[in-house]
Chains A and B, each alone.
Chain A
Amino acid sequence: AQKVTQAQTEISVVEKEDVTLDCVYETRDTTYYLFWYKQPPSGELVFLIRRNSFDEQNEISGRYSWNFQKSTSSFNFTITASQVVDSAVYFCALSEPETSGSRLTFGEGTQLTVNP
């Protein structure tokens, strides 16, 4: 069965520090998708990225970057030069279209606090 583990429950950094949020997943499927969502204090879920299992190329979007490594079943998320507005809960998620359609399995989330 699919599983997503975010071992870091809470992380606290000072503004401008770089921070990496870890995500490890388990799946038996060869085709799957990985996601990151941000949940700010207002509560909505904000889509950040989707990556399919066949594309291991790392991605950078502004201060955000993602490192996907199938060999270690990890999909880590790095924020460079963090800002106070980055404070939120970040969720990693997995979907397995072949076995469960677009149903997402979420990790427990990592609460990131960026202090001024």
Chain B
Amino acid sequence: EPEVTQTPSHQVTQMGQEVILRCVPISNHLYFYWYRQILGQKVEFLVSFYNNEISEKSEIFDDQFSVERPDGSNFTLKIRSTKLEDSAMYFCASIPAEGGGELFFGEGSRLTVL
């Protein structure tokens, strides 16, 4: 069964460092998402991406965050200068088309900022 894959599974970084989280969505999917879950809290929407541009972003997704699809298969989330509060699990997700379909989530990348 096709699945969304994410790397790394866990990354530890120092505050102020740049981090790139990588995702490979399911191949025929067109809409891509990043969600965040701070430990013990709910899952929160960060950004959606379609047709090589951001279609929607939340108030969490400030100028420190960026996304891109550099090569037609990978979908990356970059945090330019990490803060302690960026420590969380980051989930990538994709769907074939918009409209309430099942969101296929990756297994998540745990980011720890020291």
Contact = CB atoms under 8 A, between A and B. Distances in A.
A91 B99 CA distance: 20
B31 interface: yes
A25 to B, nearest CB: 14
B68 to A, nearest CB: 19
B62 to A, nearest CB: 17
Interface stretch (A45-53, A59-67, A80-88): A45-53
A21 to B, nearest CB: 14
Interface in A58-116: 91, 93, 95, 97, 100-109
B108 A44 contact: yes
Interface stretch (B14-22, B43-51, B71-79): B43-51
Interface string B81-114: 0000000010100010011111111111010000
Interface of B: 31, 33, 35, 41-45, 48, 55-56, 89, 91, 95, 98-108, 110
Interface of A: 31-33, 35, 37, 43-45, 47, 50, 52, 91, 93, 95, 97, 100-109
